[in-house]
Amino acid sequence: MEEILKKFGISEKTINQMIEVCPNIKELSESEILEKIEILKKINCNDIQIRNIVSSNPMYLDRSNTDVNKLIKKMNEVGFSTLNILFDGNPYILNLDAFEIENYIKDRQKNGELLEEIVDDMESNLYVFQEI
């Protein structure tokens, strides 16, 4: 696990801090880590973005691939266009579930907001995700 993370420029000190935050990542196999990295590459994350996302939010590595893929699919469906930039700016978005995004958007639509306006607001104000 550590060798893969080091290839992305994550230091030993940062890896230890990541393990403190999410001890389960010590148990992850090399292939599990690579699968998480591949998910990020599929949404056009570069190596620097991957390093930032993984080192800032080690819990991402411990999430199920199914849950992460559902989240990405939902976000694409509703109109988010640059997930790589969005996740780099707020890596904790990857801890959300698809239904949480969907419910948040539905609640705002009930107040008369258009989907496009909601998505624009969420993309331009990353702190909105803390309300979810």
| For residues 26-36, average pLDDT | 94
Predicted confidence (pLDDT) at residue 1 exceeds the cutoff of 80: no
| Mean pLDDT of the region 9-36 | 94
* The pLDDT value given to residue 96: 97
- What would the pLDDT profile of 54-103 be if each residue is shown by its tens digit? 999 999 999 999 999 999 999 999 999 899 999 999 999 999 999 999 99
What is the value of pTM for the model shown? 0.92
Q: How would you class 62 by CB atoms within 10 Å of its CB: exposed for 0-12, middle for 13-18, buried for 19 or more?
A: middle
Three-class SS of residue 9? coil
Nearest to 16 by CA among 29, 31, 30, 1: 1
Q: What percent of the chain has pLDDT over 90?
A: 86
